[in-house]
């Protein structure tokens, strides 16, 4: 694996860039732009969703930046970050060749997921992104968060800026993408049986695949609230089981899926087997926007 700290030449901001160490000239790759949640940083996100462990096996290029705004918590803000994120995309497309980007996925945890949702409202991202993996970062369609998610037993969440949406809600983007929603069981009241995104593509009723069982824990969790957290917010990292649902036969072969990590909340890092399962799904999904001639 080739793991470096890359630099956005326009802003001077650094970001993690992971890629296969044995990448050949002209080889196709899947590009992930991975965004941390509010109050976090790129280093934590990189361990929360440790896709870098699979760069060589699945030929991944992963960019993991940090937001600039720090008060009242570190979070993604359009004015401070969107140009930086566009610069990162340009950097990756130039370094590896736009014609070699098999597919481009936004990956976002919590406020990083909501930011991914917002980015898809822009022409720059909607014309380039092939898929969105929302890691507890909003589901297209209604979903209800339990009251314990906002429990006073732990330090309260700072207010979302500009009246922004809470993590449970996402807006259907006006573009064609594959979409995976992954969530902890305890951070939602229940998973809806239907998906508006699946309906858009005429997919069939959801089917449940085999559970994904992990005997090893994820690599990080919220240690700042250890001892005062709730199951909805998240406890210590530990082994687990994930249920995987897909909506089959979507037009264009689009991947549409819901993943529920049983007995988990908002902040436990993803375990290795469910991480790999999500990556396999993304790699197998259709791509091609980066090779369609859209200029960066």
At residue 200, the 3 state secondary structure works out as: helix
* Full-model pTM: 0.93
Q: Which of 147-151, 221-225, 243-247 shows the lowest mean pLDDT across its residues?
A: 147-151
Position 223 in a domain: yes
Position 296 in a domain: no
C-alpha distances in Å from residue 262, one per residue of 53, 57, 158, 228, 294: 23, 27, 27, 21, 40
Q: Look at the chain and report how many structural domains it folds into.
A: 1
Q: pLDDT (tens digit, 9 = 90+) per residue, 50-99?
A: 999 999 999 999 999 999 999 888 999 999 999 999 999 999 999 999 99
Position 174 in a domain: yes
Position 212 in a domain: yes
Q: Specify the length of the chain in residues.
A: 296
Q: Give the mean pLDDT of the chain.
A: 91
| Residue 245 near residue 210, CB atoms below 8 Å | no
Using 50, 70 and 90 to split pLDDT, how confident is the model at 191?
very high
Position 278 in a domain: yes
Residue with tokens 């330090």: 155
Position 26 in a domain: yes
Position 67 in a domain: yes
Domain with 261 in it: what CATH number?
3.40.50
| Residue 177 near residue 121, CB atoms below 8 Å | no
Q: pLDDT (tens digit, 9 = 90+) per residue, 257-284?
A: 999 999 999 999 999 999 999 999 999 9
Residues of the chain with pLDDT > 90: what percent?
82
* 103: containing domain: 2-291
User: Taking residues 158-168, what's their average pLDDT?
Assistant: 46
Nearest to 62 by CA among 20, 14, 27: 20
Whole-number pLDDT of residue 265:
95
Position 221 in a domain: yes
């Amino acid at each position: 694996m080739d793991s470096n700290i890359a630099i956005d030449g326009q802003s001077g901001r650094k970001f993690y860039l992971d890629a296969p160490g044995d990448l050949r000239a002209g080889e196709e790759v899947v590009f992930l732009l991975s965004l941390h949640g509010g109050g976090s940083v790129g280093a934590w996100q990189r361990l929360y969703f440790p896709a870098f462990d699979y760069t060589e096996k699945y030929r991944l290029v992963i960019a993991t930046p940090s937001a600039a705004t720090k008060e009242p918590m570190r979070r993604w803000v359009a004015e401070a970050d969107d140009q930086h994120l566009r610069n990162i995309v340009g950097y990756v497309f130039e370094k590896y060749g736009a014609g070699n980007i098999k597919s481009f996925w936004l990956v976002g945890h919590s406020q990083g997921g909501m930011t991914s949702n917002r980015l898809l409202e822009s022409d720059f991202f909607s014309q380039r992104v092939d898929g969105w993996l929302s890691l507890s970062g909003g589901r297209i369609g209604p979903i209800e968060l339990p009251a314990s998610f906002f429990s006073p037993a732990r330090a309260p969440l700072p207010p979302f800026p500009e009246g922004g949406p809470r993590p449970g809600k996402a807006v259907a983007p006006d573009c064609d993408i594959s979409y995976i929603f992954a969530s902890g069981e305890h951070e939602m009241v229940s998973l809806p049986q239907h998906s508006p995104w699946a309906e858009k593509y005429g997919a069939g009723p959801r089917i449940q695949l085999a559970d994904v069982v992990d005997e090893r824990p994820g690599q990080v969790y919220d240690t700042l609230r250890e001892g005062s957290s709730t199951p909805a917010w998240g406890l210590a990292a530990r082994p687990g089981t994930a249920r995987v649902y897909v909506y089959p036969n979507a037009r264009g072969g689009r991947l549409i899926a819901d993943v529920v990590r049983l007995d988990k909340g908002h902040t436990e890092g993803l375990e290795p087997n469910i991480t790999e399962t999500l990556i396999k799904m993304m790699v197998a999904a259709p791509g091609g926007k980066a090779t369609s001639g859209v200029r960066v």
